[in-house]
Amino acid sequence: MARARTKIYKTSAGEVVYGMMAEFATPADTFHAAEKMRDAGYTRWDVYAPFAIHGIDEAMGLKTSRVPLLCGILGLSGAGLGYLFQWWVSHQAYPMVVQGKPYGAWQPFMPIIFEFGVIFTSFTALLSMMAFNRLPMWHHPLLKKERFLRTSDDRFVICVESADSKFDPDGTRKLLEKCGGYNVDLVED
């Protein structure tokens, strides 16, 4: 669900501003800058790095993901559906003694129960991750910036979106520079 922008900022060339990005020298600098951004009250911003930075989720103030909960619920539901399907087949539709067990015994059902649980969990993980991350995203404004493209190699970047209620080009620039950011630049949409 996209939030409405409170104010639309434009560059001197008349292009709409997506946000402001700044580079940081080390993971530690990025971590401390993330803490300062969180403490300043910004809510629409992200950290980009070539590898995972330990503890960055807490430094950014991110909530726990709902993906594991959804995977657990739908995985168990899938396993239950696998059991019910096999029970119906072996007890109602085509009753047959399997492995000398009585009708509806759960022991012969375990491989299918496991597989139903795994398939439901894996598809839930994939589809919910894509939905929560708004994927597929065919275009992102940061990809226009040559310096941003180096984040997969050796750069650490924080980008604050202009949709953030606290975004102000001058104030955000000063905060990013105060946090140790360099090459602070507006990102056009």
pLDDT greater than 90 at residue 131 = yes
- Predicted confidence band at 12 (pLDDT cuts at 50, 70, 90)? confident
**Burial annotation 18-52 (CB, 10 A radius, 16+ → b, else e):** bbbbbbbeebebbbebbbbbbeeebebbbbbbeee
Between residues 7 and 156, which one has the greater pLDDT? 156
Share of the chain above pLDDT 90, in %: 63
pLDDT greater than 80 at residue 103 = no
- pTM score: 0.77
Domain ranges for the chain: 17-62+137-188, 67-132
pLDDT greater than 50 at residue 1 = no
